[in-house]
Structure 1
Amino acid sequence: MTSLDDDLVQHAKAVARTVRDTLAEWRARPPASNEAAANELLAYAARDVAPASSDAPSICAHIG
């Protein structure tokens, strides 16, 4: 595996953990709608794969 592959694997694992944790939270507090659920998951996934450096542009800025 190359370092790029390692980075992709780490991003995928982070997003998978976030989805698992979010689904567990939704058992107690379901989202208001399917659209709200999708928006919430997309925002979390963007956060999980955003560059660590504050100098780099944030992926979250493109979610709307």
Structure 2
Amino acid sequence: MPHTTWRKSSFSTDVGANCVELATSPDGIRIRESDQPDAVLRTTPATLRSFIRAVKAASLDHTH
């Protein structure tokens, strides 16, 4: 299995284990939370861009 290089969010701190990490792979983008490194989500760059746009626009604020 190839080595995966994870990048931590610039908004995460070194205090605690609540960090969002991303990595690129041949099958798209991988996302994980540092306190649960074995739980990895996979998505495409286009889907991740759409999600980030929706978060920035507060489009998801009404969901629970």
Fold-level similarity (TM above 0.5): no
Whose relative contact order is higher, 1 or 2, with alpha carbons under 8 Å and at least 6 apart?
1
Higher percent of residues as helix: 1
Higher percent of residues as strand: 2
